Amino acid sequence: MEIIEKAPAKINLGLDVLYKRDDGYHELEMIMASIDLADRLTFQPIREEKIIIETNSGFLPTDRKNNIFQAIEAMKKHYNFPGGIHVELHKNIPVAAGLGGGSSDAAATFRGVNRLFSLNATLEDLTQLAIPIGTDIPFCLQGNTALVTGLGEIVTPLTNPIPQCWVVLVKPKISVSTPRVFSKIEAESLSHPNIEKLKASIEKNDYSEMTQYLGNSLEDYTTAKFPVVQHIKDKMIQFGADASVMSGSGPTVIGLCDKYSRALHVANSLKGFCQEVYVVRTLNK
């Protein structure tokens, strides 16, 4: 028996760092949306008490450092199913790109293991197991478009998903460590996008208004350290994107376009600056 799960990437349309909490983490307010760039995971049970991960990516660990491994361990400890699991991961989402690839792989693992062993775990059950592994995983378990608060563990689906549009993704040849970014920032000195207005524009399906309220507090730090991120943002607008913003802690920059022809023009124009350029759609369930 084998189970196949897709793991869609996520983008941040809005990300606001509100303040540093007493526990040392930062309180966040975000609007996240799923896109149709996805990894593919295949799960098979094995008799041995082992977790075996195989992948087409040479950049990923296949041991306990991998979120897939940690998700299986958490499910095994909680549900004590027999034997082990073999996972084949076909990686399409760029690594360390601010697109939630590792978190989405973990979310797909929770769903896949649940199905593989007919564990009947609820979304709430899986979310509780996921939080210690990664705070983007709760959103990735649900997908679509949502307001995400707290550390990222509180997910409130929007009444309407993001207006259907085309997304140009550009990842420069740098990697950004999310923990390092958060260790360096001071919330008081950052810019703060208007998440409430962004949310309202999405819920009334107003694409034009939505593009006016994209924003990311973490851009202040990442663009200062890596000027290429700002350069890509500027070029996206120059080549015709309706709006541009960095996703997550970066370095990937997203540009929104209401027409495919325009998105294709933006992407082709940017291929001279970066090799990793994608044109994808928002994923509305």
Give the residue numbers of the binding site for ATP: 94-104
Q: Report whether 202 contacts 14 (CB < 8 A).
A: no
Among 136, 171, 233, 242, the one annotated catalytic: 136
Residue 65, number of CB atoms within 10 A of its CB = 9
Beta strand extents in the chain (DSSP E only):
3-20, 26-46, 51-55, 84-90, 145-150, 154-157, 166-171, 215-216, 243-246, 253-257, 276-281
Inter-axis angle of helices 67-79 and 101-116, to 10 degrees? 30
Q: Tell me the torsion sign for CA atoms 157, 162, 164, 169.
A: negative
Q: Is 166 helix (H, G, I), strand (E, B) or coil?
A: strand
Report the alpha-carbon angle 209-215-217, nearest 5: 160
Catalytic status, residue 242 = no
Tell me which H or E stretch contains 207.
Answer: helix 207-212
Report the alpha-carbon angle 229-12-143, nearest 5: 145
Distance, in Å, from the CA atom of 247 to the CA atom of 154, rounded to the nearest integer, reads 19
Distance, in Å, from the CA atom of 32 to the CA atom of 34, rounded to the nearest integer, reads 7
Binding residues: 94-104
Catalytic status, residue 136 = yes
**Residue positions annotated with a catalytic role:** 10, 136
